[in-house]
Structure 1
Amino acid sequence: MAQLEEDVLTETTLADEIAFQLEADILAGRLQPGSKLRQEELCARFGVSRTPIREALRKLQAQRLVTFAPNRGATVRTLTRQEIEEVYDLRAELEGYAAQLACARADDDFDRRLIAASSDVQTRAQPDPDRDVSDRKLNVEVSESIRGFHHIIQETAGNATLVSVIRDLEALFLGSFCSHEMADPGIAERLHVDEHRGIQDAMLARNGAAARELMRGHILHAKKILLDYLDDTGFWAGHDDTDDQEQPND
């Protein structure tokens, strides 16, 4: 049983790493809209079986970066600028509200967990200089630490419906979690380290209004970094608005 659980965990981690790299390739324009994502080619590229490849493609489908159609397999799709703006604007308001609610429910245990999560973000967002920013495992680690910080606040808000909606939006597009690749190091450090620390300090002070505004500004800042990056790379050219929802079977 333990070996089975370890195998499942390994495949899930591989799927996360592969999905992250493919997402980065799509956002950087290395994979153009309409490009085919053939499973056998991806297996060869990443040196894995089809299982983590299928899981990675499902993750990208949930983000609406990949579509599936009968007899066509997986194809790269591009979100529109309006879709990205709508997702981030909603997240900014909802995550800000969650931060305000969490302030009213926070306790000593919350403080300890939030400080630890903030420290983890800082550690992972400022890695050993020998590790390249394109390192798939590093990117997943940074993303997970950021997600953990946000999730602690959301779960403390005490509103299950609110958390569910935020998670749906989060799953739709994860660009904010790879923005350390999209901005120069100084901007990325402000986004990941300074802004999380500011949110933490407002939460520890139980200043709900400040926490709400800081969280809102943080999400909107991530949106700006993402959109500026996509504008600069010409991401919108050749957009394909197809949205087939078959499952990967290539």
Structure 2
Amino acid sequence: MIEVDTSLLGRRVTADYIAEALRNAINSGKLIDGAVLNQVELAAHFGVSRVPVREALRQLQAEGLIENRAHRLSQVRGTDPDRLVQVFSLRALIEGWLIEQAVPNIDPATIAQAREINERLRKESDHPAWLGLNAEFHELLMRPSGAVEGLELLAPLRMRSERYTRLWSKGNGVHRPVETCAEHDQILDLIEAGDAEGARAAAEEHVRHTCRAVLEAGRRMQQPAG
């Protein structure tokens, strides 16, 4: 479940490489909540000593993705609904603020590019590919803010929230292209009109709508079959 790219291993700090591989496996849903990570097994898997593995696990613990257990074991940390609401709420506030800061700097070419991505989103049925396009859409509109700190704060929140969008979409359809693309159109219309405050409010509500859909999918997933 954890991919090993040997072409990268020699070109990067080993601990960072291992941390990224584990992070990707967690955020993609390949490593589910509660999955146990054994330092000895990970070292053998990556073909390294336990030293870089320990450092990689420390990084992931600091990011809140795993928690330590006894005897050189760690565990993928789960997120309960209350914590997930907090993640989405913080994400909404930061994304809205970034959009507001970006509006004066977004030119017609960027708006046209965003509309083109949104049309592709309308037609994309593969959920992982759809999530990638959706992230591209949002990053395109937030990047002109120039707010490096805000973008860095947002990145782990987006990863945590999208982890559960991926996990809970399997068989449950956290996939709302019609509503999402309509909300994207509204945000773009407000940006095009130069309404920074309106775009901020629309962006915040857009993230909250996604949160409600993800929580509902998670609730359905936990219900007994039959």
Measured against the shorter chain, the TM-score band is 0.5 to 0.7
Is structure 2 residue 154 aligned with structure 1 residue 166?
A: yes
How many residue pairs end up in the alignment? 204
Partner of 1:126: 125
In structure 2, relative to structure 1, the CA distance for the partners of 1:154 and 1:224 (3 Å cut) is same
Matching residue of 1:232: 220
* Structure 1 CA distance for aligned equivalents of residues 61 and 120 of structure 2: 29
| Greater than 6 Å deviation, 4+ residue runs | 11-17, 39-42, 56-60
**Aligned: 1:148 with 2:147:** no
Contact preservation (8 Å) 1:38, 1:73 = yes
Tell me the alpha carbon deviations over residues 150-193 of structure 1, each in whole angstroms, 9 at most, x when there is no partner. 11122112322222222242244434653882686596223443
Change (3 A) 1:185 1:169: closer
Q: Counterparts in 2 of 1:96-245, with a 5 A limit?
A: 96-123=96-123, 125-127=124-126, 139=128, 141-175=129-163, 177-178=165-166, 181=169, 188-234=176-222
Measured after TM superposition, the shift of residue 95 of structure 1 is 0.9
TM superposition score normalised by structure 2: 0.67
1:50 aligns to 2:46 (yes or no): yes
Report the Cα offset of residue 71 of structure 1. 2.6
- In structure 2, the partner of 1:83 is 83
Q: 2:12 matched to which residue of 1? A: none
Distance across 2 between alignment mates of 1:145 and 1:78: 26
The answer (yes or no) to whether the contact 2:85–2:211 under 8 Å persists in 1 is yes
The answer to whether structure 1 residue 22 and structure 2 residue 22 are counterparts is no
Question: Aligned Cα RMSD in Å?
Answer: 4.0
Q: Looking at both structures, which has the greater relative contact order when contacts are Cα pairs under 8 Å and sequence separation is at least 6?
A: 1
Q: CA deviation at 1:215?
A: 0.9
Cα distance in 2 between the residues matched to 1:147 and 1:75: 28
Structure 2 CA distance for partners of 1:102 and 1:197, relative to 1, 3 Å: same
Task: Mark the CA change 1:206 to 1:188 in structure 2 (over 3 Å): closer, same or farther.
Answer: same
TM-score (norm 1): 0.62
Identity among equivalent positions (%) equals 18
Q: Once the 2 structures are TM-superposed, how far is the Cα of residue 227 of structure 1 from its aligned partner?
A: 1.8
Quote how far apart the aligned CAs of 1:17 are. 6.7
Amino acid at match of 1:79: T
Distance 1:158-1:218 versus aligned 2 partners, 3 A rule = same
Greater mean alpha carbon deviation, residues 193-202 or residues 145-154? 193-202
